[in-house]
Structure 1
Amino acid sequence: MEHKHKYDAQGRQICCTQTEKVYTEAGAKKLLQEKHQKDDGHNHTHSDDDGHDHGNAEGSIFKMFLPPILSLILLLTAIAFDNWIPQEWFTKTVRFVWYLVTYAIVGFPVIKDAIKSIAKGEVFSEFLLMSIATIGAFFIGEYPEGVAVMLFYAVGEVFQTLAVSRAQRNIKTLLDQRPDEVTIIENNETKVIKAEEAQIGAIIQLKPGEKLGLDGELLTDNASFNTAALTGESKPDTKNKGEAVLAGMINLNTVAQVKVTTAYTDSKLSKILELVQNATSQKAPTELFIRKFAKIYTPIVVFLAIGITLLPYFFVANYVFNDWLYRALVFLVISCPCALVISIPLGYFGGIGAASRNGILFKGSNFLDSLAAIKNVVMDKTGTMTEGVFKVQEVLFKSDFDKDEILKRVNAIESLSTHPVATAIHEYVGDIDNSIKLENTEEIPGHGLKATIDGKELLVGNFKLMDKFGISYDVDPASIVYTTIAIANDGKFVGYITIADSIKEDSQQTINLLHKLDVKATMLSGDKTTVVKYVAEKLGIDNAFGDLLPEDKVNKVKEIKAKNETVAFVGDGVNDAPVVAISDVGIAMGGLGSDATIETADVVIQDDKPSKIPVAINIGKKTKKIVWQNITLAFVVKGIVLILGAGGLATMWEAVFADVGVSLIAILNAVRIQRMKF
């Protein structure tokens, strides 16, 4: 099987499974399977940016509504013959057959699903409840009400199917931006091939307006790209020669050439797509509770209905079987847990989709709940609240050292590190002198680097590194505001280099928004305390601690958690793995830069913007609020009508509202989050 088909099939199979298992709407499986088969047969229709298939969407919706429409027409006609325009021929057998046909149009799929559920061992399903209730109504001669219950239930199922399909389509359209084909340059000629057939090292030619199919390295001097599929931001991103460009980016203004560096199935977009689609498998506690509740609740309701029908025989003098059976049937219709089983997963699914549109990836709906309860956001400094792009400010060496020679050696040892500080030194010094031979190199976590050059030990790091090796110095580190790189050569203090990092433009907005959400902000950094305090004071961060080793960060987070407060940690997700592990939610910045980040974090912010942190928290809070609104609505309305139904004060019509009406209201409430602006 080709990779493209594999991923499309995988995506749609997941959708089908979720629709069947989680949302349980009648007829949805068949609809999605038909769409899947059409797609696998390359019967693609034109889609707009919102993912609406103009070629067959209207036809599919009409097909879904056709049975309820036919049933409604026949039902209204039958009611008219019964009450307003009596017909002599519309009696007994003819009347029964008319209502039976009207019922079968919408009822047959539900009864079929009930039988399938029983065959799988799931006896007490919503399909069985509806089947018993409506067949029972026919048994006691209440044909119109039996048809009406099943008709409105079928209409509700259609709306549920549309809501679920829309939520799934939004995520699918948002992320699955990979083109089927790419144009490669081979022997100075262009050739169109399937994207999954492109080999690593192949040269792709990308015209303006085209989407990149695989991750690669830009060969053209520069080009601008729309990165909305990956970051949720449509602002053009200019890339220069040698920089990485990713699948899903849209070339904007010039013909560009890209060298493929990653296989199709391993591209960043493929990983993100898989991540979001699999997110629905990580259920929130509320969602898991409702599932367990429904499994216990439904059989209890069935046995209560049997009790309502039979027990009054022993206690009521003028017992009439049909009257009590009617009450039991009303009770069954009202008790159907559709509103909970459908709207709650849909609410979480909508939250995941809303986050994805904002360039935020949740690994599961459980993290939406966790983030909604967060009271403390603990963040790293470099690369999170600051740009992570350092520049050398000063080089202060003692006069008895050769400044140029020491800088060359520092540049050589820093080439072993990927830290932004190393990049800043490399940019300041220039190319690495290959004549310098490093021996016995060692990275000392939280301190710096050590190596031997020409038999002399070179130390490059913070002043704690100097202390560790007993190097004396005549500088007060606390008096230096900037990040400081201390240097010692052959056991003697050489001097230091100061490096500054700029604060991100939306960092101030981030802290302000967190405070509005009543969330405290704490900064933990391995950088020197003076720098950390300076950034924290400028931004209004509540607490800040510098000069921390990885284990120190862990201890600080433990101190916060000891106060029974929930903590989200924001960092790179790799170096801070121990802190991420003990925090309630691990948030990784810069998901586009690291595959490991996507693997380790619970939430990934794809565009490096800290302002997405309060957005993610807000989405979690809104999702949880909507879910609990639906739970409250369902229990209150159903509870009231259940009592009335058992007492004979509610008819099938009230039961229909309590079931289908509440379900529709809950669904409409759940899909609101997909339209919200954050």
Structure 2
Amino acid sequence: MEEKTNQKNDRQTGCSCTENNPENHSDDNDHKNSTESKSTFQMFVPAIISFVLLLIAIGLDNYFTQSWFTGWTRIAWYIVAYIPVGFPVIKEAFESIRKGEIFSEFLLMGIATIGAFAIGEYPEGVAVMLFYSVGEVFQMLAVQRAKNNIKLLLDQRPDTATVIQGENTISKKASEINIGEIIQLRPGEKLALDGKLLSDSASLNTAALTGESKPDTKQKGETVLAGMINLNTVVQVEVTTAYSDSKLSKILEMVQEATAKKAPTELFIRKFAKIYTPIVVFLAIGICLIPMLFVENYIFADWLYRALIFLVISCPCALVISIPLGYFGGIGAASKNGILVKGSSFLDIMANIQVVVMDKTGTLTKGVFKVQKVVAVDVSEDDLVKYASALETKSTHPVGTAIMEYAKGAEKNISVTDVEEIAGHGLKGKVDGNEILAGNVKLMKKFNISYNAEIENTPFTIIVIAINQKYAGYFLIADEIKEDAKQAIKSLHKINVKTVMLSGDKQAVVDAVAKELNIDQAYGDLLPENKVQKVEALKKEHLHIAFVGDGVNDAPVVALADAGIAMGGLGSDATIETADIVIQNDQPTKIFTAINIGKKTKQIVYQNIGLAFGVKAIVLVLGAGGLATMWEAVFADVGVALLAILNAVRIQQRKF
């Protein structure tokens, strides 16, 4: 419904380009290409007919003068030349008026060209409508191409897949494959649906999802996603998600919805066009009639001609088409780089970001923890590992996963009850009847349990264990910094963006990471509400803030920040739903890329506004003064619109 509303708004501003629906496509690529070629030719047929008739008429007027080509015969010829390109525009003008949308671009062009006929400027009347119509076709093709580029970029889902049935294989439509069926994927083929890898391993190209073509090796039992390309041997995948619910389908849907969410600049231009168009109509009437009050030798036809030129120039198409297309190009460029932006308004926000606040785990570090050391106090190490891992089975935190991996199944068949997660502290529960506490040192302080204070100084993540209210030992756990994290911080500093790291981890660990990455400010030992307080303090300085985290656990901070950026788009559907921007391949350098794309998009949009207003203002003055003809008016309208569109679509070709 929102998409339809926006299409209606495009019509109200008088621009026909957006009426073309770029989302309609055939599943058959060959059929699609032939249909597009045919429709493109058909769009040019009226212009070709008018152009041929106009050339003949100009020839008969100037070079091959014929006695019969005079009077009503001459007028009728030009009318016939005008109809193929003029009738559709006049028809649209009447339909707009019938709907209550009086001041449209169609009305402006209709009045201008019919007025040219009224004062005997038949060739110019036909020529203006002809070039206007050709310009409209080129604009539609430019918009269609830009949107189809994004469509093709994202919609990497194959239409069919090879399904294994017993000892045989059959080709089946992807939309008809059920959850639980097994797909065979040959080298070079794209996976059609999300699933679980049944083969021992597979090397996959994930560019459709992450923007990175570097092979990603998956092991048996791991999740593989639609759009990934098998690079090596034949593999088998068990389908776990319906075709319409695949990760790639959700990404495609999100990007399509993003184009309907308008930036403030777009909304302003739309409102401006609705006010601007009627104003220029009344100004044109004034240019035609007011001079008769004070101009000697007033000639109505001359001033009407100036008014008609004024109308042609005033069409707002360059603004209402090229500006949304500029934002669409920005969204497409981001998608190409593995960054999903949920609306053009967030491109504007990213262009103005002054501070990037980052979570540590999973954002700057890999979030893949490994137990480095276990120290048991007054209890055997086996019991310490057994109790801790049993309790951590009730947690989804990466630290808990590391402990369970270290335990290697020691927690199996152990009773775990009354588990309570204490936010920012850790877990409390009963394991085999013993009360177990597992968490950071704040958890020990909360329950007044004494421990060896020296453990706080280690630059590792530490999980302290208490059994029946008595300190029992600890786990030292290390997380690895991402390869591109240092470059990400360096790039942000180059564009004068301040970096801040917030973490629930202890300050010693946070300081070590911050020092290695050269982060401006770093705060550890934070509860979720403490993170909110830190961001609120930055907001009070009137700074534009982006927060980068998991998009779910840090929801309050994401909501508070101007832009919420989520890492790990491939890992969580909830992340895609929560964040404003999703970085699909977890690379911190993409934060800089997102800001860069936002800045470039804003630059192009402002260039288009300046170009459109600048050229139109000059030609408006020249037209009102009688120094510009219809030809200059055509350039000011169609020519500037085309230049602005070409400027807008080039962002998709740029490398970031």
Instruction: Using structure 2 for the length normalisation, give the TM-score.
Output: 0.96
1:656 aligned residue: 634
Shift of 1:22: 9.0
1:491 and 2:469 matched: yes
The amino acid across from 1:458 in the alignment is: I
Instruction: Confirm or deny: 8 A CA contact 2:15 2:105 kept in the other structure.
Output: no
1:277 and 2:277 matched: no
Instruction: Name the CA distance, whole Å, in 1 between partners of 2:92 and 2:76.
Output: 23
1:538 and 2:535 matched: no
The amino acid across from 1:501 in the alignment is: D
1:46 and 2:36 matched: no
Matches within 5 A, 1:162-561: 162-398=141-377, 400-561=378-539
Secondary structure (helix, strand or coil) at the match of 1:350 reads helix
The amino acid across from 1:630 in the alignment is: N
Shift of 1:28: 7.1
1:578 and 2:562 matched: no
Matches within 5 A, 1:87-126: 87-126=66-105
Instruction: Confirm or deny: 8 A CA contact 2:385 2:410 kept in the other structure.
Output: no
The amino acid across from 1:66 in the alignment is: V
Return closer, same or farther for 1:299/1:671 CA change in 2, 3 Å cut-off.
same
Secondary structure (helix, strand or coil) at the match of 1:645 reads helix
Return closer, same or farther for 1:109/1:456 CA change in 2, 3 Å cut-off.
same
1:614 aligned residue: 592
Secondary structure (helix, strand or coil) at the match of 1:389 reads coil
Secondary structure (helix, strand or coil) at the match of 1:503 reads coil
- The farther-off stretch of 460-469 and 431-440 is 431-440
Instruction: Name the CA distance, whole Å, in 2 between partners of 1:275 and 1:454.
Output: 47
Instruction: Using structure 1 for the length normalisation, give the TM-score.
Output: 0.93
Alignment equivalent of 1:633, drawn from 608, 611, 615: 611
- The farther-off stretch of 488-497 and 275-284 is 488-497
Shift of 1:102: 2.0
Instruction: Name the CA distance, whole Å, in 1 between partners of 2:82 and 2:156.
Output: 43
Instruction: Name the CA distance, whole Å, in 2 between partners of 1:334 and 1:346.
Output: 21
Instruction: Confirm or deny: 8 A CA contact 1:268 1:592 kept in the other structure.
Output: yes
Instruction: Name the CA distance, whole Å, in 1 between partners of 2:257 and 2:104.
Output: 26
Shift of 1:354: 0.8
Instruction: Name the CA distance, whole Å, in 1 between partners of 2:164 and 2:12.
Output: 46
1:74 and 2:44 matched: no
Instruction: Name the CA distance, whole Å, in 2 between partners of 1:31 and 1:561.
Output: 41
Secondary structure (helix, strand or coil) at the match of 2:488 reads helix
The amino acid across from 2:535 in the alignment is: V
| Post-superposition CA distance 1:109-154 (Å, at most 9, x none) | 2222222222222111111111111111111111122122212211
Instruction: Confirm or deny: 8 A CA contact 1:114 1:131 kept in the other structure.
Output: yes
Instruction: Name the CA distance, whole Å, in 2 between partners of 1:30 and 1:433.
Output: 61
Aligned-residue Cα RMSD (Å) equals 2.2
Shift of 1:32: 6.0
Instruction: Confirm or deny: 8 A CA contact 2:18 2:321 kept in the other structure.
Output: no
Instruction: Name the CA distance, whole Å, in 1 between partners of 2:586 and 2:21.
Output: 39
Instruction: Confirm or deny: 8 A CA contact 1:301 1:335 kept in the other structure.
Output: yes
The amino acid across from 1:332 in the alignment is: L
Give the aligned length. 656
Shift of 1:175: 1.6
Return closer, same or farther for 1:74/1:178 CA change in 2, 3 Å cut-off.
same
The amino acid across from 1:512 in the alignment is: K
The amino acid across from 1:532 in the alignment is: V
1:136 and 2:115 matched: yes
Shift of 1:313: 2.7
Gap runs ≥5 in structure 1: 1-9, 48-52
Secondary structure (helix, strand or coil) at the match of 1:416 reads coil
The amino acid across from 1:176 in the alignment is: D
Secondary structure (helix, strand or coil) at the match of 1:324 reads helix
1:5 aligned residue: none
Instruction: Name the CA distance, whole Å, in 2 between partners of 1:244 and 1:82.
Output: 73
Instruction: Name the CA distance, whole Å, in 1 between partners of 2:569 and 2:491.
Output: 22
Instruction: Name the CA distance, whole Å, in 2 between partners of 1:23 and 1:541.
Output: 47
Instruction: Confirm or deny: 8 A CA contact 1:16 1:29 kept in the other structure.
Output: no
Instruction: Name the CA distance, whole Å, in 1 between partners of 2:627 and 2:391.
Output: 84
The amino acid across from 2:41 in the alignment is: F
| Post-superposition CA distance 1:537-557 (Å, at most 9, x none) | 111111111111111111111
- The farther-off stretch of 305-314 and 542-551 is 305-314
| Post-superposition CA distance 1:469-504 (Å, at most 9, x none) | 001112234421111111111111112111111111
Shift of 1:347: 0.5
- The farther-off stretch of 53-62 and 303-312 is 53-62
2:129 aligned residue: 150
The amino acid across from 1:265 in the alignment is: S
Instruction: Name the CA distance, whole Å, in 1 between partners of 2:8 and 2:650.
Output: 20
Instruction: Name the CA distance, whole Å, in 2 between partners of 1:483 and 1:614.
Output: 28
Shift of 1:56: 4.5
Return closer, same or farther for 1:194/1:20 CA change in 2, 3 Å cut-off.
farther
Instruction: Name the CA distance, whole Å, in 2 between partners of 1:542 and 1:129.
Output: 57
Instruction: Confirm or deny: 8 A CA contact 1:19 1:29 kept in the other structure.
Output: no
Shift of 1:431: 1.0
| Post-superposition CA distance 1:333-380 (Å, at most 9, x none) | 111111101100110111111111111111111111111111111111
Instruction: Confirm or deny: 8 A CA contact 1:22 1:345 kept in the other structure.
Output: no
Secondary structure (helix, strand or coil) at the match of 1:296 reads helix
Alignment equivalent of 1:593, drawn from 562, 571, 586: 571
Return closer, same or farther for 1:22/1:352 CA change in 2, 3 Å cut-off.
farther
| Post-superposition CA distance 1:298-357 (Å, at most 9, x none) | 111112212222222333342222122111111111111111011001101111111111
Secondary structure (helix, strand or coil) at the match of 2:437 reads strand
Shift of 1:645: 1.7
Instruction: Name the CA distance, whole Å, in 2 between partners of 1:313 and 1:24.
Output: 31
Instruction: Name the CA distance, whole Å, in 2 between partners of 1:569 and 1:45.
Output: 41
Instruction: Name the CA distance, whole Å, in 1 between partners of 2:184 and 2:250.
Output: 23
Return closer, same or farther for 1:601/1:18 CA change in 2, 3 Å cut-off.
farther
1:4 aligned residue: none
Instruction: Confirm or deny: 8 A CA contact 2:376 2:473 kept in the other structure.
Output: yes
Gap runs ≥5 in structure 2: none
Instruction: Name the CA distance, whole Å, in 2 between partners of 1:491 and 1:216.
Output: 45
